Amino acid sequence: MSSYVLYGNPGWGSAIVEAQLAWYGLPFRVEETGDLFASQAAREALRSLNPVSQVPTLLLPDGRVMTESAAMTLHLADLSGRDDLVPGPAAAERAAFLRWLVFLVANIYPTFTYADDPSRFVKDEAARAGFRAECDAYAQRLWLAVEAAAGAPWFLGQRLSALDIYFAVMTRWRPRRDWFAAHAPRVLAAGERAAALEPVAPVMARNFKG
């Protein structure tokens, strides 16, 4: 099989998909894009593959391009023929998995899109700090909703899923691990367990040094 090419950066959202590629044992390499916030050249280079110049962007072995981490999560599970990260259609956990997967990418993930570089959306420099603070506060309220639905030891209860890999990565972003420890301990614990799994741990080490 030819390799997948994952466009991303250490510590960015591409780490979520990188961990899944490693989990399934698929051949892949990571192509670092550079800082897409700071470099117009980096954005232009990626735009030929992804019209919004975001990572993760995944080049499939047959040359087709995928964007959107949730789509990749479902596609890789289908290709592998396995249900260890994505509950199958008949699984009792399937509905909850799909609900919270879409919740993460449709609600929480955009708070980073808007707040990481507020200048893209708020032209008044004086208003940007307040805008970012509001986005971050909204994200915290969303995480509390996730925590209220969380099981143990994994988010879905007794079974691992790709949601736990999302948490492994996303709990290292704002509002940071101390906040999760205090306000969303089940989410943090599921993410920590996923981060320590044998196929995932090297990916986490590469993406989050120090």
CATH number (domain holding residue 81): 3.40.30.10
Is the domain of 65 the same as that of 114?
no
The reported pLDDT for the residue numbered 1 is 56
Which tens digit of pLDDT belongs to each residue from 117-152? 888 778 888 888 898 899 999 999 999 999 999 999
Same domain membership, residue 120 and residue 68: no
185 and 168, same structural domain? yes
Same domain, 27 and 62: yes
Please state, in angstroms and rounded to a whole number, the distance separating the CA atoms of residues 144 and 199.
29
Tell whether 79 and 108 lie within a shared domain: no
Give bridge partners of residue 154 from the DSSP assignment: 157
The DSSP secondary-structure symbol of 8 reads: E
Same domain, 13 and 30: yes
Asked if pLDDT for residue 115 goes beyond 80, the answer is no
Q: In sequence order, what are the residues at sequence separation of 6 or more whose Cβ sits closer than 8 angstroms to the Cβ of residue 144?
A: 183, 184
**Closest C-alpha to 209, from 11, 9, 7:** 11
pTM: 0.95
Which residue did the predictor score with more confidence, 179 or 120?
179
Q: Find, among 157, 155, 182, the residue nearest to 168 by Cα.
A: 155
> Poorest-confidence range of 18-32, 116-130, 159-173?
116-130
Q: In terms of domains, do 128 and 177 share one?
A: yes
| Same-domain status, 17 and 80 | yes
The reply to whether 107 and 149 lie within a common domain is yes
Tokens of 68: 């959107």
How many whole angstroms separate alpha carbon 47 and alpha carbon 97?
31
Q: What is the CATH number of the domain that holds 120?
A: 1.20.1050
51 & 110 share domain: no
How high is the pLDDT of residue 113? 84
Q: Count CB atoms within 10 A of the CB of residue 142.
A: 16
Output the pLDDT for position 210: 61
Domain that holds residue 120: 94-196
Sheet with 4-8: list strands edge to edge. Answer: 28-32, 4-8, 57-59, 65-67
In a shared domain, residues 68 and 150? no
20 and 111, same domain (yes or no): no
Number of domain units in the chain: 2
pLDDT at 126: 81
